Structure 1
Amino acid sequence: MKHLYVAAALATAISPAFAGERWLVYAGGDKPSRLFVVVDETYLDAVPFADKTYKLETITILENAKAPDWVSSNMIIDCGRNTLEEKLIQISPRGGKLTTAPDQPAQPPKNAVGEALIAFACDMGPKDSAKRLAARKADQRERGWMYLGPLTTADVGDLAWNSMWSDGKRPASTPRSAAELEREMASLNARREKALAEANALAGQTVQNEKAEAERFAQAQEPLRRLEKRRKREYAPVRRALEPWIGQPEAELLRVWGAPTKTEDRSGQRIVSYYQRVVDTVYAPTQGCPAGQSPQPVNGMDKPLVCAPMPGPVSWERVSECTAHFELHGGVIVDYVTQGAKAQYEQPPCSRVFGKTD
């Protein structure tokens, strides 16, 4: 903890030119193989099309003289799966040109450094700019984190040796020229942009594939969805008569039903409609009496009923009207709906026109 206070004091004195917003997230290990790990908040962002996944740029300063001076990489942190994937790994030897290392696949953390990176990314990644600013001002040292401010890579190395490892001797290194550093940074930026473009393209393709699969599933479920709606919308006699027409071609419908009352084409679908009207005669119930008669109290209310002529009409016409609309896609019937007013004494609608009894 004492070393963190020293690091904080020294970090405020470093020039911010060409620097990223650095956080110390891990400082540990045993001498002479201690590690000083910082991340750049500038590049901490959500990975497109991925849930609870963030990208994080890291720099690790290594104390051991036989190890590289520093190693940088891009981490893809999946907070849902608790994994980290390392990409764009660059190794800076203690003299000479930068080298690269193969990308590492997503895997659970293997050590305290991996655990620290996941904890930081999953805590800070979802925060907006205001909350991140508040986090910078807060004392995070109990968590092993500390906001260092705008530091360059060289500044980070100096900070590690001047604050955390002041009890050791910094290994000699051959500094690279400004031109070499510029070329190396240009190469890093090109690799970063290429990797980001590839990741975005892959994520975009994944989203498109998932969308296409969802559409295929929805299409497969569409007949069942329509059937369920018909069960709620149409009465059983109508369904028994019209359900066999699902999947039949339009030509067969026209052959059996004849010319339609109306046709309509709209938005890739075709509606073929048939209007029918049924008229029949309904006779008043005679309750065992001869036609035109019914039991009546002709001899008084306290006497047995006898058959007598009905005082009102003995029969009348009953009119039932209904329209069946068939919906066709690609020349095949995929659905139907009936529409008609309820006729007197008739339940349910359209049953007498198009319905079929058991």
Structure 2
Amino acid sequence: MSKIAVLGAGSWGTALSMVLVDNGHDVRLWTHREQQAEEINGSHRNDRYLKEIDLPAELVAYTDLERAVHEVDAILVVVPTKAIRQVASQLAKVLHHEVTLIHATKGIDPDSLKRVSEMLEEELPRSLYRELVVLSGPSHAEEVALGQPTTVAVSSRQIEEAEIAQDLFINERFRVYTNPDLVGVELGGALKNIIALGAGISDGLGYGDNAKSALITRGIAEISRLGVSMGASPLTFAGLTGVGDLIVTCTSPHSRNWRAGHLLGKGYAMDDVLEEMGMVVEGVRTTKAAYRLATEQNVELPITMGLYKVLFEDANPKDVVDQLMTRGRRHEMEDLEYGLGGHFSR
């Protein structure tokens, strides 16, 4: 049995905590909300994020970060991207021993253009962890919390650390693969949220499966182009954290990014969408980050550019989709070859 602190009591942090409890670990779930901690400890529910799901009685919530991480073997960070630096800075002040450090947050900071692992590395002294591990893959928190079969990947620069994380999480309902491509695993999980927004918009506009299938397929080409330009392996995007995560996020109302896009396609304003969601929609911030990265690295991302116009320039979603459908003629294999490591940009 390991002692594990999970930082972030949203839907994903709570669901992963349940997996760890099922595996027999001593799990402390940290939240900065006193009322949420009282609900988890008192009624064993977290209804704002996982409605009508009973949490294990062994799962204990903390609001005191120092107490939560005291003498733990591992720390799992699952807070929104915008809170990563703040929480990591707080953690650096109260953690006094070396741990296995894992994060399961899917996003890119639109200001610094840093991945989550890079932000954690900048904020936390290296003496506090051996090597950072990323957990990502096609996984709805609601299904994980219900014990439905799920498969994810973990990645680290040191295979030993990835295998430690694999052992912590793996069971008969939650299968965990290792993948050596940390950059690709992290980028796939972040960038797919952009395409999920687009898939939601397409559904909200009333377009059918043909349109969404094209969007998903062209979306993986965009993710691969940007990922390869940033040092990722193209093969990663054909796996769980690429195609796998893209499918699950683009095709289900469980996905908050799909739901946000669906509301946009229905004609809701961006501010109203975010208010209606009541939870962080990582794809919005990631779209801004990917737009900047594509511009700086001269990588063509037409879907991302179109979504940027919808989210930040008040463009009409239907007009953007129509523009994507009327782009100049192209050769599909050129894009596929580029995603598989070619060096030309279209």
Instruction: Give the TM-score band, short-chain normalised.
Output: under 0.3
Query: Higher Cα Rg: structure 1 or 2?
Result: 1
Higher helix share: 2
TM-score (norm 1): 0.26
* More strand, by proportion: 1
